[in-house]
Structure 1
Amino acid sequence: MKFRLKQASNRITPTQFIVLGYLLAVILSTIILRLPISWQEGARLSWMDALFTATSAVSVTGLSVVGTADTFSEFGKIALLCMFQLGGIGIMTLGVFLWLILGRNISLSYRKLIMVDQNRNNLSGLVMLLRLVFILTLIIEAAGAAVLTVYFKLAGIYDDWLTAFVHSAFHSISAFTNAGFDIYGDSLAPFRDDYLVQMVTMLLVLLGAIGFPVLIELRQYFSRRNEQRYRFSLYTKVTGLMFLILIVCGAAGIWLLENSLYFASLTWHEKLFYSLFNSVSTRSAGFYTMDINDFSMPTQMLLSALMFIGASPSSVGGGIRTTTFAVILLTLVHYAAGRSEVRIFRRTVKQEDITKSFVVFTAATMIVISSTILLAYTEHNHLPLVSLIFEVCSAFGTSGLSMGITDQLTTGGKWVLILIMFIGRIGVLSLLFLFRTNQRKQNFHYPKEDIIIG
């Protein structure tokens, strides 16, 4: 029996093992949410709705067919917290932390699983990486909860410290993991004029979405800046630049498209925060301060594009990722200029990374288009096409924003979104790698021949 188990483990690739781990997490989470102890008195949750909510929590999406505040008990809300904490920082991160507490050594096979889960290219320093990820996560979430707790109590939003802390802790974890769940009842709409809460939320969302490698390099920079000149990696430079560009261009696009429409009667600072908050939150967090249906169709399509791009690699968000989008844009510019290499920051991008970027973009586009067609079929053409596109992009980018159609979906439509949310969490490359086996590489090549392109 032991020999058979070893043979089976050798046939399963690290990617397949990780995907099975997330699938198991979704199944266990569904069972937990289906328990009556997870519901408020008088509330009920079907198996389908429990599966949908569990998938949304583990994939840190935030789409929901039921109201979190009205449906789940205190136990259910704590269970949700654990789910999107697990989904946000990764199964392997928590596993390694528990393993280190028990004083166990991390084997080579386990390190390979860590490498896949954290989207890394090498095995060096992985245990230290996950330790830093876990510590940084706790520090950032605790800081966010502390600031919001003090503000909620002193501002009189909540009467007692315990209630202020519970709401602050839930929101801080949900924001940093980009889960987008809320227990206010209407996301951040009650705080549409509260710029402090919005700024704290945006900072937490940004720190979670920009990627753990960037946070670790920033930590190293501030700890060594007095000793020697610190050089950031190309990944951090590209990620930081693209993140800033997307936030600024997203906010500017929303402002321009809505300036004479929804923003027509608003003050300049209201326009600024509506634009900035939606630009930051849309890509992976899913919090909102207004009804998305109030936006015009061009703005809704812009938000869909932002959700499709998503967050950075090795972060808590989904989508095709910022670096993928950056490499695609750079390749198009360099190709149009007749250059044979893609260069940025005095570095040349590897051809393998360029190929990966176009593979991810192409596969993601096919997934979103086919899912939209399938969703239109399951909903019998009863819902507007723009709402379906928005919903699919939200699920794929693990954003969680919705135009209010999630609870109207048929069972078939919910299954489509469940699958898309799961793909958004594991990533397009992991989905493609599922079909790989532990086979030896071919050591021969066929003759090359030209194909007419374009």
Structure 2
Amino acid sequence: MRVNRLTDKISLSGVHIIVFAYFGAVLLGSILFKLPIFHNEGVEMGYIDSLFTAASAISVTGLTVLNTAETFNVAGTILLAVYLQFGGIGIMTLGTFIWVVMGKKIGLKERQLIMIDHNRTDLSGLVQLMKKVLLMSVLIEFIGGLILGTYLLKYYSDWYTAYYYGFFHALSAFTNAGFDIFGDSLFQFSNDYFVQSIMMILLILGAIGFPVLIEIGKYLRMKQNKKNFRFSLYTKLTTTTFFSLLIFGALAIFLLENNAYFQGMSWHQKLFYSLFNSVTARNGGFATMDVSLFKKETLFFISILMVIGASPSSVGGGIRTTTFAVVFLSIISFAKGNKEIKIFKRKIDDEDIIKSFVVFSVATILIGFSTILLSFFEGYKSTLMEVLFEVSSAFGTTGLSMGITSSLTDVGKLLITVLMFIGRIGLLSLLFLFNTQKVRARTTYPSEKIIIG
């Protein structure tokens, strides 16, 4: 009897296992990235910097304390690419692939882990989903790498260098990691609209969410066979919100900077700067310019975009597009006096509304508290806007920076590391870590009205 009780106490939930798996990957990476065999000659990396790099890679954030191109050799770049792939598509996607290859049966426990890792709500079809996610990711990255590598022959004389850069940055773009081995992000391509367009397409494909891509593929097959197909509410809401924010973001950046940073530029330069910054702010982390040159209003707006982040079950972080959409629709519905939230002739489930407000509220508190804390440690050498921008970028796993990352103190680096890790596992997983209640209490209490607002 005592043994059973002890087992119940120490048994781990699926959320605990997933979180510990990512934490273990970060710790392993902190050791691997520190090894000299992965560095260029003469480069030394402290443990805090190595830990920071591992967390940034597994969370596909892209914030760096050292210049990636100057720090890592080819072996180090390959290790980094493995971590980006690992963090981008999720532990359970690769885990499922390994299980299938080894011929092992994927039971209920494994399916629960997959469900948690990819933020799914049901257990059906998860193994097939993981196979599709892996195949889709590899295919998109391969095609993107092939296109980029071929085009980069224009810049590099030997094919090895061109495709080496092409495939790495295609992987980094699709996983929305933002790591680069050019040495200056995409500054050298600020007037190369082809490279920017390919990178934006890859960033969008990674951030829109795997369920959306799978549904689009199914729609195209059904249309080819002349069969009717209805998109799910999730896909409709996610896609509408995602592209609305993308277009609104580009328009807002254009208007805010038209008479400032964009002054004197041609219309196409303004268009691509606005569009690329709107796309990359949603989780990409790549930059074609120094974002610190933007006005404070623009930087604050970009910070909001970074916090919103990408879609659920994608490679990105943040509070996610559906959370933002549900909170926004709830406010509109409440203002109109409606008790239900209806969109696309469907009603949003009450539990999803509660989850959205919990995630939104906790994110707001976390970002506010982290900004105060980081400002306390770094404030003497960084402005409040720089600190807020860095915190938002870390939580949203975006990777954009105003240039203060490398100058952070060890305490500041550890705080940003924690934020990147939270951004990767998600706020719901973080909250569920503290849920030790196995059986819901049957006791009910009478309700009573209180004064709100």
Q: Do they fold alike, i.e. is TM over 0.5?
A: yes
126 and 438 in structure 1: CA distance in 2 versus 1, 3 angstrom threshold: farther
The answer for unaligned runs of 5 or more in structure 1 is: none
Give the deviation of 1:340 after TM superposition: 1.1
Distance between the aligned counterparts of 1:173 and 1:218, measured in 2? 22
Q: What amino acid is the match of 1:273? A: F
Distance between the aligned counterparts of 1:357 and 1:144, measured in 2? 34
C-alpha distance after superposition, 1:119-151 (max 9, x if no partner): 000100000000100000001000100111111
Distance between the aligned counterparts of 1:366 and 1:356, measured in 2? 15
Q: What amino acid is the match of 2:184? A: D
Deviates more, 1:355-364 or 1:227-236: 227-236
Q: Tell me what 2:310 maps to.
A: 311
Q: Tell me what 2:126 maps to.
A: 126
Distance between the aligned counterparts of 2:210 and 2:9, measured in 1? 29
Equivalent position SS for 1:34? coil
Give the deviation of 1:7 after TM superposition: 2.6
Contact 1:13–1:438, Cα closer than 8 Å, also in 2: no
C-alpha distance after superposition, 1:317-348 (max 9, x if no partner): 11000000000110110110011110000000
Q: What amino acid is the match of 2:25? A: A
Contact 1:15–1:113, Cα closer than 8 Å, also in 2: yes
Distance between the aligned counterparts of 1:292 and 1:402, measured in 2? 7
Give the deviation of 1:380 after TM superposition: 4.5
Q: Aligned-residue CA RMSD in angstroms?
A: 1.3
Give the deviation of 1:294 after TM superposition: 1.1
Q: Residue 204 of structure 1: which of 202, 209, 217 is its match?
A: 202
Contact 1:96–1:130, Cα closer than 8 Å, also in 2: yes
Equivalent position SS for 1:440? coil
Q: Tell me what 1:228 maps to.
A: 227
C-alpha distance after superposition, 1:262-295 (max 9, x if no partner): 1111000000000000000111010000001111
Distance between the aligned counterparts of 1:165 and 1:382, measured in 2? 40
Distance between the aligned counterparts of 1:343 and 1:171, measured in 2? 41
Contact 1:242–1:322, Cα closer than 8 Å, also in 2: yes
Map 1:133-212 → 2, pairs under 5 A: 133-153=133-153, 156-212=154-210
Q: What amino acid is the match of 1:378? A: F
Give the deviation of 1:379 after TM superposition: 1.4
C-alpha distance after superposition, 1:153-184 (max 9, x if no partner): 1xx20111111111001000000000000000
Contact 1:11–1:437, Cα closer than 8 Å, also in 2: no
C-alpha distance after superposition, 1:42-74 (max 9, x if no partner): 111110100000100000000000000000111
Map 1:7-406 → 2, pairs under 5 A: 7=7, 11-153=11-153, 156-225=154-223, 226-406=225-405
Distance between the aligned counterparts of 2:59 and 2:198, measured in 1? 23
Percentage of identical aligned residues? 52
Equivalent position SS for 2:368? helix
How many residues are treated as equivalent by the alignment?
450
Q: What amino acid is the match of 2:409? A: T
Distance between the aligned counterparts of 1:106 and 1:401, measured in 2? 39
Distance between the aligned counterparts of 1:10 and 1:212, measured in 2? 34
Distance between the aligned counterparts of 2:151 and 2:430, measured in 1? 43
Give the deviation of 1:438 after TM superposition: 5.2
Give the deviation of 1:229 after TM superposition: 1.1
Equivalent position SS for 1:284? helix
Distance between the aligned counterparts of 1:224 and 1:161, measured in 2? 40
Contact 1:11–1:438, Cα closer than 8 Å, also in 2: no
Distance between the aligned counterparts of 2:11 and 2:436, measured in 1? 7
Distance between the aligned counterparts of 1:166 and 1:8, measured in 2? 50
10 and 99 in structure 1: CA distance in 2 versus 1, 3 angstrom threshold: farther
Distance between the aligned counterparts of 1:17 and 1:275, measured in 2? 41
| TM-score, normalised relative to structure 1 | 0.97
Distance between the aligned counterparts of 1:186 and 1:216, measured in 2? 34
Distance between the aligned counterparts of 1:51 and 1:5, measured in 2? 37
| TM-score, normalised relative to structure 2 | 0.98
Give the deviation of 1:10 after TM superposition: 6.7
The answer for unaligned runs of 5 or more in structure 2 is: none
Equivalent position SS for 1:446? coil
Q: Tell me what 1:430 maps to.
A: 429
